[in-house]
Structure 1
């Protein structure tokens, strides 16, 4: 996935600057190397990004590409989110069964506390089993019933690998909100590299940037990392942007849902406003009940 993402950003850069000289440097993180340990053991939030950010700060590379949902909402000093290209479908997909086939005792594999909480809110009594690994291995386990009957994956990830046909169903985001930043890529650079940032601005998609800026502002206002059971969905109407947020208790028994509306240039304010609304309704207590593990 990391190679696909890096090559995609490289292609976008070449499309706006054909003379650009690009050299790919592929890095692995502790989250990539250790597929057995839980996220708390390998560092939790930032497990997939900190090492590459450190490489950027040491001037060993000039640009780092991330899956945006892996990127902490507070960047290391000296680094900026330089560009967010056009976003792919941010929704979640379930593979192995459909929503109306969920039942007590069904074994569903996921390493995401958000997905687990939202699944339990839809169907209590599911047997949610920890699951890590790449897209292919998770699909194989669900298809072959290797300890699980179904798994949840990002529709964007399936699409990038040409595997969207493996999805039994793509969830309606109003029923099953997606992770902050899901489906979007992040081009991260050093704040001082103004020429590079100006180049990267040429590949930015305004709508995607508005959505993720609002989503990340929501998470900061909740003081929540990418690991917690916070789901979002965005919608647009006549230039007006609506951000909907859901905080779900890990046991699925309680959820809080609200939304905020504004214009495209009000992304930060929209996210903060929504966070304030959710906190007023008790989101803090729900978030305290959630283990701090990373979205997978």
Structure 2
């Protein structure tokens, strides 16, 4: 790839959340850019999102899309920052007008994991912590006896609740986040993504920028991973076509067969009693078409009805940031 030219002195203002994981991920992106463009300087502009300020409410109780990202998008639109580093699973599939997903660096292992116990070793009626509707639905689909305890917050405090005063037997987390924080050894069990598909975009970082900033977008393309981009494009297109937000119980699993990408997706009812699964593969250059095809299969199998029930249950007053 031809290396885009940058000015001798260029300052990039980088938006990020304040959590330890967000800061680690942002510094990773800064390091990747600096490796290719050592002449660029950076200024961090951390911001606490609405979901960071409220650590008590469950995600669906905010009744809005983009609880971790909407305020950062406003920073971009006001030109207070030049780019924002997101955990891609938190970024809505529909971006604000004038903003683009400018780059997706190499994705880390996207699987969910159990910390505190393996799945098979969980005792009858075990208490498992998660703040995700998808994880709750999927663990109850596999283990209907499990009692799910809603938990939120940074990774460290969530891990501390295992065998703490809450008496949790395990918590479900993303392996990528544990690895990025140097906590990979806390993983007790990798959950098979064929049975426990991960969140759309999980394990990937998304760098959002203004569409009009062509010079910056050219720079960011230098740190893009084409295979990771194809995976998340397929997953996000599938989620968008279903009309489902990132909080709803939709999981995905991508794998490669040579230069062909396979996408398996699952929609699970909130109580875990019903689920539909669909899969297809396409050449890498047809990632978005792959996502659309899998979404259509899920709809035909009854996935749309499951999602409609989820909306009625939790999202009847859902608001987008634009409303």
Aligned to 1:222: 242
Q: How far is the alpha carbon of 1:39 from its aligned partner? A: 2.4
Structure 1: distance between partners of 2:224 and 2:278: 28
Aligned to 2:34: 14
Alignment of 1:235-246 (within 5 A): 235-246=255-266
Aligned to 1:109: 129
Are 1:222 and 1:279, in contact at CA under 8 Å, matched by a contact in 2? yes
Alignment of 1:199-278 (within 5 A): 199-278=219-298
Q: How far is the alpha carbon of 1:254 from its aligned partner? A: 1.1
Match of 2:175 among 134, 139, 155: 155
Alignment of 1:20-59 (within 5 A): 20-59=40-79
Aligned to 1:190: 210
| TM-score calculated relative to the size of structure 2 | 0.88
SS at match of 1:104: coil
| TM-score calculated relative to the size of structure 1 | 0.96
Match of 1:71 among 91, 103, 106: 91
Are 1:179 and 1:230, in contact at CA under 8 Å, matched by a contact in 2? yes
Structure 2: distance between partners of 1:194 and 1:95: 43
Aligned to 2:7: none
Structure 2: distance between partners of 1:143 and 1:276: 43
Q: Does 1:85 align with 2:105?
A: yes
Structure 1: distance between partners of 2:243 and 2:121: 35
Alignment of 1:279-294 (within 5 A): 279-290=299-310, 291-292=314-315
Unaligned runs of at least 5 residues, structure 1:
none
Unaligned runs of at least 5 residues, structure 2:
1-20, 319-323
SS at match of 2:209: strand
1:210-243 Cα deviation digits (max 9, x unpaired) = 0000000000110001011011001101111100
Are 1:56 and 1:190, in contact at CA under 8 Å, matched by a contact in 2? yes
Aligned to 2:199: 179
Match of 1:96 among 113, 116, 125: 116
What is the count of residue pairs matched by the alignment? 293
Are 1:242 and 1:260, in contact at CA under 8 Å, matched by a contact in 2? yes
Query: How much is the aligned-residue C-alpha RMSD, in angstroms?
Result: 1.3
Aligned to 2:17: none
Structure 1 residues 245 and 31, CA gap change in structure 2 (3 angstroms) = same
